[in-house]
Homo-oligomer: A and B are copies of this chain.
Amino acid sequence: MAIETIKWENGKVKLIDQTKLPLSLEYIICSDVKTLWQAIKMLKVRGAPAIGIAAAFGVVLGIRNSKAKTFTQFEKDLSRVIKYLASSRPTAVNLFWALERMKKVALSHSSHSISRIKKLLYQESVKILSEDKNICRAMGHYGAGLIKDNDRVLTICNAGALATGDFGTALGVFYQAKTEGKKFKVYSSETRPLLQGARLTTWELLQEGIDVTLICDNMAASLMEKGLIGKVFVGADRIAANGDTANKIGTYSLAVLAHYHKIPFYVVAPKSSFDLKIKSGRDIPIEERSEDEVVEIYGKRIAPIGVKVYNPAFDVTPHGLISSIITEKGVVKPVYKTNIRKMLGA
């Protein structure tokens, strides 16, 4: 996997600017937390695991110039940085999970020197990234077991290398299956409004030599009816205790359509995407984004001035529509609260 979505380099965070893909491969160098916050907010970096990694690096950027002499002062600076980063996007739980993890490192070393704590925080952020690589590979391993020769699979948005610190969640399954020599076709749903499927998923899969066909979101049902889709694989932004899954808008639509056409529907996500504090999908906060994302495409207006717009960034797929959830610990099936707790060891 040649794609490096996010890395720490020379004391700065280097990100692929995903808003420029697929026409141009450009990088953003974040040397301060504000630049990184904007990169998350503006979807220059996106995908739940990648947002978590970016946020951890953001903490390092945000506190490295702290002039705190005492832990109390330092904790105040740290809390401010964490609160700021947490305000970037509300739905992906990996963001909060990574920030919480960074905070714990500081709190559990409160007796150490400030410079030592800063170093530990840096080490933790690097660890979050390297762990994500192992997690992706483990998910890929379990997920690839579900892919058979001649399968035709459908995915939405981008749950790949561009969404993680390695080869992805849903797309990682495809990369691993290819490595295992399996032959299959992928359909990528373009994913309006921001077209992550058209711009990012097709780009990634083409880079890696995977057979990919682009469709518009409203074509999936017709393909299913024609027998052209055998399985659906998607990522997740937050999974409730009962397995209800928030993911990119359009995911719930595919889940209902898959159910109607008796097609298995798989969610691929790391443990860090689970949020046991949330009982069911009803309680997951759903980000509503700007109207501009719908009425303008690359700055070109596609709808009349004055029209009202509804633009939720995510929807929630109830656990009953999910055949199984693939995590780094294995395959959760059926998707019940008790099975999820068992997998998480919670």
A contacts, CB < 8 Å to B: 22-23, 156, 187, 189-193, 195, 198-199, 202-203, 206, 211-223, 225, 249-250, 252-253, 256-257, 259-260, 294-295, 297-298, 300-304, 306-312, 315-316
Known: A222-B252, A297-B297, A315-B221. A214 touches B260 (CB 8 A): no
CB neighbours of A304 from chain B (8 A): 22-23, 199, 202-203, 206
Q: Give Cα A158–Cα B312 distance, bound, in whole angstroms.
A: 23
Task: Identify which of B203, B250, B300 contacts A298 (C-beta below 8 A).
Answer: B300
Q: Tell whether, in the assembled complex, residue A222 and residue B315 are in contact, meaning their CB atoms are under 8 Å apart.
A: yes
Q: Are B22 and A303 in contact (CB under 8 A)?
A: yes
Chain B hits for A216, CB < 8 A: 192-193, 217, 249-250, 294, 311
A218 and B257 in contact (CB under 8 A), knowing A297-B297, A307-B206? no
* Cβ contact within 8 Å between B193 and A303: no
Across-interface contacts of A298 in B (CB, < 8 A): 297, 300, 302
**Chain B residue nearest to A301 in the complex (CB):** B23
Q: Nearest chain-B residue to A255 (Cβ)?
A: B221
The reply to whether A297 and B295 form a contact with Cβ atoms under 8 Å apart is no
Which residues of B are found within 8 Å of A295, using beta-carbon distances?
A: 198, 214
Which residues of B lie under 8 Å from residue A203 when comparing CB positions? 303-304
16 further A-B pairs in the complex, CB-CB below 8 A; given A217-B217, A218-B250, A225-B252: A22-B304, A23-B301, A202-B304, A206-B304, A206-B306, A212-B307, A218-B249, A219-B311, A220-B253, A222-B252, A222-B315, A225-B315, A256-B260, A259-B260, A297-B297, A298-B300
- A310 partner residues in chain B, CB cutoff 8 A: 187, 213-215, 219, 223
Each complex incorporates copies of this chain amounting to: 2
Enumerate 15 A-B pairs (CB-CB under 8 Å) in ascending A order.
A22-B304, A190-B302, A192-B192, A192-B218, A195-B302, A199-B302, A202-B303, A206-B307, A213-B309, A216-B250, A218-B250, A219-B310, A219-B315, A257-B257, A300-B300
Q: A261 — nearest CB in chain B belongs to which residue? A: B256
- Across the interface, which residues of B come within 8 angstroms of A225, CB to CB? 252, 315-316
For A213, list chain B residues within 8 Å (CB): 307-310
Q: Are A294 and B253 in contact (CB under 8 A)?
A: no
Please give, as numbers and ranges, the residues of chain B lying within 8 Å of A212 by CB-CB distance: 307-308
CA–CA, A225 and B317, complex, Å: 10
Q: Which residues of B contact A260 (CB under 8 A)?
A: 256, 259-260
